[in-house]
Amino acid sequence: MASSVQPSPVGRTAGVAPSIGPGGAVWQRAWVRRSATVVALVVVGLFVADAPNLMTGYFLYLFTLGAVYALVALGMTVLLGWAGQVSLLPAAFMGIGAYGGDWLHQTAGIAWAPSVVLTAIGVGVVGTALAVPALRLRGFYLAIATLALAEAVVYSFTAFTSVTGGNEGQYVTTFTLFGLTQTWTIWYVSIAVLVVAIYLVNRVRRTSLGRLLLGVRDVEVAMGPLGVSPAVLKLIAFAISAVLASMAGSLYAQLVTYIDPSQFDLPLLIELLVIVFLGIYPKPVLDRITPTVNSLMAQVDAATNGHQPAVATHGTAGVADPHAGARR
């Protein structure tokens, strides 16, 4: 007759707790991460919802400005971080978005949200068109070319006085939603646009397009044999960056309520570069791009101080020598 006594499970000896296998440990870590993410999202959501009551007007302005700059930096991450294109046009695209959105809203009589979308589409087309002649350039030369284009765009703001108000600038026609004040409205709208943009960019990052953009940055020479045009991918990156910068410019105009061409010149560009370099880039990308930007800034500094910019004749060909001005 078979014994009815069942053997004890392995590991369940007296006084010893059952061990957790590798699968259980992985599940526990994943559960902890999800729980922490949910808690963080709830806390951030509560803060965003009640931020106008928690902060004074000045601090609310700073947080809103941070959201606007983050939107521009997101587009620069796609262009510089993914595709590896050192473009200095985002500040100029912000200016087009600011002036274009306000002109459509104030003069053409279009509602603010559609005017922002239409302006962003137009800037995306303009950004793609401006990128076409720059596709054959790389590194320092691409940075110089896009900087020249950016300065030309900013100069055009002073010329079209009927649209921009010239050097004197102009006030922006503000808008409100749901009976909120203008500062509350622009805070909620900026955060909403930023969240949607982050979600969409992350989705693109996980697609084949995102992987191809990274391939353009790392191994561009291998894109041709794969049947992929690096030029098309670069144009897509330029267009994404231009659209996000334009939307950020429209939000910026609503935030400051007064715009003039000097707000979109070189100082804003430097601020955006600092934000992207310090807050978003991984170190390998920084190591690759920083020398180019340092050389460019040396050339700009030499030009603004009355020296003739120089180009190194040894070492890295075509890269500006930052010590040339000091040796004169």
Q: Which of 243, 253, 271 is nearest to 64 (CA)?
A: 253
310 occurs within a structural domain: no
C-alpha to C-alpha distance for 188 and 181, rounded to whole angstroms: 11
Per-residue pLDDT of 135-185, as tens digits, reads: 788 778 888 888 998 999 999 999 988 888 888 889 999 888 888 888 999
Print the domain residue range for 266.
81-302
64 occurs within a structural domain: no
99 has a pLDDT exceeding 90? yes
Average pLDDT over residues 261-282: 81
Taking the whole predicted model, whether its pTM rises above 0.85 is answered as no
63 occurs within a structural domain: no
Domain total in the chain = 1
CB 323, CB 299: distance < 8 Å: no
Per-residue pLDDT of 64-80, as tens digits, reads: 999 999 999 999 989 98
253 occurs within a structural domain: yes
